[in-house]
Every structure is written in C-alpha cells, then in structure tokens.
C-alpha cells in the first residue's frame, strides 16, 4: 500500500464523516399540522347540503369534508345530484415547503385538476390554476366567500385576461347539514 492509497482512504473517511454529521444534523420530519396556515381551510370541514343552478333547474348535492393524515389533509367527498352518478374527491394540504395550499381533484369521469392557493388580500380563501390549450390559456379559480358557521358561498370563476377580471360561471350555496 503506497502513500496515494493511504491518502485516498483518508479522503474517503473524511467524506464519510462529513456526510454522517450532516445526516445527524437534519431535523426529523414534522408530523401533524396545527399551524395557523394549515388550519385556514377548517371552516370547510363538516357535512354540507349544496344548492346551485343546473341549467334552468335548481341542483342539490352533498359534500362531506373531513381532516385526515394527522390533521394535514382536508378530504372532500362530493356526491352529485340525485340521479347523477358524479362522485368526486379532493385532497387539500398546506405545503410547508412552498407555503401555499395545494389541492388535487379527481372524479369518476376521469377528470384531474390541480390547484394552488391561499388567502386573497380581501381575506377570502381560493384555489387557482391555469388551463386551456397553448395559445388560449385562461385561469380558473374557486373562491369561498361569506363564510359563516352554518353557511357559505363557493364560486367557480374564469379569467381570460390573466386575472385582471373574473367571471363567475358556477355558484354553490353551502348549508351545514342537520
């Protein structure tokens, strides 16, 4: 064994020690979510009766919202109106890394929508995304407003001018189920 071999072993040992110290200094993962930010969507938790316009008729549905995974995930279980087979789910989480809310929606039509959001300057909660084909992109968002203990309004909105103006295309009245 020559001096180059000894130097190589010493170098590898040094690298191993540095890696070991760095790994030991990393904080263990933080489980559970009780920060004020991770509780911003708690108003939505509960059993809700929904009323909305469906064409010229009034539509009615049900939405069951719970917190799961140690309080980190808000799970939405949406059931379409009677006689309609639509069933959908969303998972919402406050992403500690980006400091934004993230939501994924999936349903039994094969739809997949991904959103990010948080609080608007006026205090309303929202989730938004970009959609549409290249060259014809537009923005979509959902906004909760007039939030009270037993009621709220949910708006589905669209902007064709990069968020300068918004048009409500679907409005749902939430009433806490009794």
Count of structural domains within the chain: 1
What are 107's two structure tokens? 């349903």
Would you say residue 64 lies in a domain? yes
Q: Calculate mean pLDDT across residues 149-159.
A: 97
116 with 140: CB under 8 angstroms? no
- Please tell me whether the overall predicted TM-score, pTM, comes out greater than 0.85 for this model: no
Would you say residue 153 lies in a domain? yes
Per-residue CA distances from 147 to 15, 85, 171, 173, 178 (Å): 56, 29, 14, 10, 18
CATH code of the domain in which 90 resides: 2.40.128.20
Would you say residue 145 lies in a domain? yes
What are 69's two structure tokens? 């995974």
Rounded distance between C-alpha atoms, residue 176 and residue 43, angstroms: 11
Q: Calculate mean pLDDT across residues 164-173.
A: 95
Q: Which domain holds residue 105?
A: 37-176
Q: pLDDT for 69-110, tens place per residue?
A: 999 999 999 998 888 899 999 999 999 999 999 999 999 999
């Amino acid at each position: 064994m020559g001096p180059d071999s000894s130097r190589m072993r010493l170098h590898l040992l040094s690298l191993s020690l540095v890696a070991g110290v760095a790994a030991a200094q990393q904080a263990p993962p933080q489980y559970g979510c009780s920060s004020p930010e991770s509780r911003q969507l708690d108003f939505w938790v509960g059993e809700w009766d929904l009323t909305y316009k469906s064409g010229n008729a009034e539509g009615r549905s049900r939405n069951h919202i719970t917190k799961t995974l140690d309080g980190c995930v808000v799970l939405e279980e949406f059931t379409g109106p009677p006689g309609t087979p639509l069933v959908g789910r969303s998972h919402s989480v406050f992403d500690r890394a980006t400091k934004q809310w993230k939501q994924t929606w999936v349903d039994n039509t094969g739809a997949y929508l991904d959103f990010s959001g948080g609080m608007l300057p006026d205090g309303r909660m929202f989730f938004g995304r970009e959609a549409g084909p290249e060259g014809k992109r537009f923005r979509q968002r959902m906004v909760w407003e007039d939030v009270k203990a037993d009621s709220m309004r949910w708006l589905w909105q669209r902007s064709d001018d990069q968020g300068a103006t918004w048009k409500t295309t679907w409005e749902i009245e939430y009433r806490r189920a009794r």
